[in-house]
Amino acid sequence: MSLQIYNTRTKQKEIFKSFREGKVSMYVCGPTVYDLLHIGNFRGVIFFNCVRHWLEQSGYEVTFALNYTDIDDKIIARAAEKNISPTELTAFYIQAYQDDLKLLNLKPHDINPKCTDHIDDIIALIIKLISDGFAYEVAGSVFFDVHKFKDYGKLSGKRLDDLAAGHRVDPHPDKRHPFDFVLWKPSKDQEPFWESPWGNGRPGWHIECSAMCHAHLGEHVDIHGGGIDLIFPHHENEIAQSECFTGKSFVSFWMHHNFIRFGEEKMSKSLGNVIKARDYMETYHPEVLKYLLLSVHYRSELSVETKQSYQCISALSRVYSALRDADSLANDNAVATDEFIGMIKSTYQLVKTSLNDDFNTPKAFAAIFECVRSFNHEVTSKKPKDVTLQGAARVFVTCIREIGGYFSLFQEEPVLFLKSLDQIMVKQLNLDVAYIEDLLVQRSHARANKDFKKADDIRDELLAKNVLVHDSRDGTTWEINKHFESSQ
Ligand SMILES: [Zn+2]
């Protein structure tokens, strides 16, 4: 099965075909940089990173642009509050965003254009839209005339007549139609401005993405993405501007990811229930955030509660425990059984089918867990010296690392990563490491004195607190039981 992508415009899955042979251009609407980003803002970044990896895996050369909106009302207001210039404010939050991205260890975007670097492109676009009759100027403002674009509404399915009936829009004295949108607006006192044929002002929001797409990816984009809240009006307006400017089709595939909920509510700044990505990564781990955001299909809502994070930790610990075991068993010269090699091949195939089916990441993860289960079965049913087990360990590591790469997951060093999961859970469960270590010393004394009753009691006491004790020839170690059913 070849790659199929759900296209918001046609409301169905379509076989993916790029405009130019072997090359894909992707544009994703990025953040407005006036604050730290919450985990919902990262859903698109992490998902489209997977899209990009999979397209490359499928043989395409991908150019991925994600923009920064670095001038708008919120930026101007926040900068004024802080008594700094908008440029200082946005530089700070662009850096903060890039720091967060670095923690996630995703493939860097090829281009991160900024609106303020493209004012000349924006002005040129607006001049042509006016001269071709699609836009008009009134007292220093320029508006796009939605009635001049016959396909207006083709993305969102909204029709201007229905919009007029269903929405109460404050009539703007300068607009010909209430749904005409602003391309350029005059700057108020103290606001940043750029010179233009219509006086000093600044661009409206929608026009920047059309200008940056054209500047960096050309007149046609293969994949344009963003959150579902951008479908209307932002992306609808981008289509209107771009197609009126070029007279050609703007985007082949429109892809939109769904919201994140916190409990029952949508996560949003106005509801005050946001979790900053940085805080989440500090409490848990960037790997947990990536896993969490990909564990649900991108077009479904994702609910984030403590329980979900614990489930992700449990899932990651299963994969990494198997990787740790495999690392210690793998032998470069050993060969796995035909049956195991067949299982590995079918894992690749299942992941491929899942990702080709509109990036069904949960289904791909299920295939990875089947593979982990098969490997764990090899480990429990064979002796460490068994060469077929050593061969299985070798191909298992290669398979999980390679497939994990499509998601930017499973690349951590297993022993260290499992240790950091332990530390996370020690904090989450309010455990005291000194207390655990002290009990283990008492237990080893009891064992030395052949007081096995006491040793077992201590083991049970620790187990009740989700601490697992392992005895081996090299001594006793402990770890947190990460597969417990959390009641929190
Ligand atoms: Zn945009």
CA of 234 to the centre of ligand 1 (A): 6
Q: Are 310 and 486 in contact (CB under 8 A)?
A: yes
- Backbone region of residue 359 per phi and psi (left: phi > 0; alpha: psi in -120 to 50; beta: other values): left
List the domains of the chain with CATH numbers.
Answer: 305-412 (1.20.120.640), 429-480 (no CATH)
CA of 212 to the centre of ligand 1 (A): 9
Q: Give the pLDDT confidence score for residue 169 in this predicted structure.
A: 60
Instruction: Give me the residues paired with residue 478 across strands.
Output: 469
Average pLDDT over residues 341-352: 98
Instruction: Give me the residues paired with residue 69 across strands.
Output: 32
Tokens at 171, concatenated: 């009539």
CA of 68 to the centre of ligand 1 (A): 9
Q: Give the pLDDT confidence score for residue 488 in this predicted structure.
A: 40
Q: Which residues contact 412 (CB under 8 A, 6 or more apart)?
A: 287, 320
| pLDDT at position 239 over 50 | yes
Spatial distance between the Cα atoms of 72 and 57, rounded to a whole number of angstroms: 37
Spatial distance between the Cα atoms of 211 and 117, rounded to a whole number of angstroms: 11
DSSP-derived pairing of the beta strands 475-480 and 467-472: antiparallel
CA of 205 to the centre of ligand 1 (A): 8
The per-residue pLDDT of the chain, averaged, comes to: 94
Average pLDDT over residues 291-301: 97
Q: Which residues contact 255 (CB under 8 A, 6 or more apart)?
A: 5, 6, 7, 8, 48, 51, 223, 224, 225, 298
Q: Are 323 and 434 in contact (CB under 8 A)?
A: no
Average pLDDT over residues 340-363: 98
CA of 75 to the centre of ligand 1 (A): 16
Banded model confidence at residue 168, pLDDT cuts 50, 70, 90: low
CA of 233 to the centre of ligand 1 (A): 10
State the DSSP H helix or E strand holding residue 63, giving kind and residue range, or none if neither: strand 61-66
Spatial distance between the Cα atoms of 363 and 244, rounded to a whole number of angstroms: 40
CA of 113 to the centre of ligand 1 (A): 11
Instruction: Give me the residues paired with residue 251 across strands.
Output: 221
Q: Are 152 and 240 in contact (CB under 8 A)?
A: yes
CA of 209 to the centre of ligand 1 (A): 5
> Over the stretch 443-487, which tens digit does the pLDDT of each residue have?
999 999 999 999 999 999 999 999 999 988 778 889 888 886 544
HSE (side-chain half, CA atoms, 13 Å) at 432: 4
| pLDDT at position 69 over 90 | yes
CA of 114 to the centre of ligand 1 (A): 11
- What percent of the chain lies above the pLDDT cut of 90? 86
First to last CA, the chain: 42
Q: Are 362 and 297 in contact (CB under 8 A)?
A: yes
Average pLDDT over residues 158-181: 78
Spatial distance between the Cα atoms of 326 and 324, rounded to a whole number of angstroms: 5
Q: Coil, strand, or helix at residue 463? A: helix
Banded model confidence at residue 422, pLDDT cuts 50, 70, 90: very high
Q: Coil, strand, or helix at residue 262? A: strand
Banded model confidence at residue 307, pLDDT cuts 50, 70, 90: confident
Average pLDDT over residues 311-328: 96
Average pLDDT over residues 402-424: 97
CA of 178 to the centre of ligand 1 (A): 21
DSSP string, 369-418: HHHHHHHHHHHHHS-TT-HHHHHHHHHHHHHHHHHHHHHT-S-S-HHHHH
**The pTM is what?**
0.94
Q: Coil, strand, or helix at residue 259? A: coil
Banded model confidence at residue 293, pLDDT cuts 50, 70, 90: very high
Q: Which residues surround ligand 1, an ion (CB under 5 A)?
A: 29, 209
Q: Give the pLDDT confidence score for residue 8 in this predicted structure.
A: 98
| pLDDT at position 362 over 80 | yes
CA of 29 to the centre of ligand 1 (A): 4
CA of 206 to the centre of ligand 1 (A): 6
CA of 36 to the centre of ligand 1 (A): 19
> Over the stretch 140-150, which tens digit does the pLDDT of each residue have?
999 999 999 99
CA of 363 to the centre of ligand 1 (A): 30
In this structure, the number of other CB atoms found within 10 A of the CB of residue 45 comes to 23
CA of 261 to the centre of ligand 1 (A): 23
DSSP string, 16-43: ---SBTTEEEEEE---BSSSPPBTTHHH
CA of 28 to the centre of ligand 1 (A): 7
In degrees and rounded to multiples of 5, residue 121 shows phi and psi of: -65, -40
Instruction: Give the CA angle between residues 271, 276, 281 to the nearest 5°.
Output: 145
Q: Give the pLDDT confidence score for residue 160 in this predicted structure.
A: 85
Average pLDDT over residues 48-53: 98
Average pLDDT over residues 342-368: 98
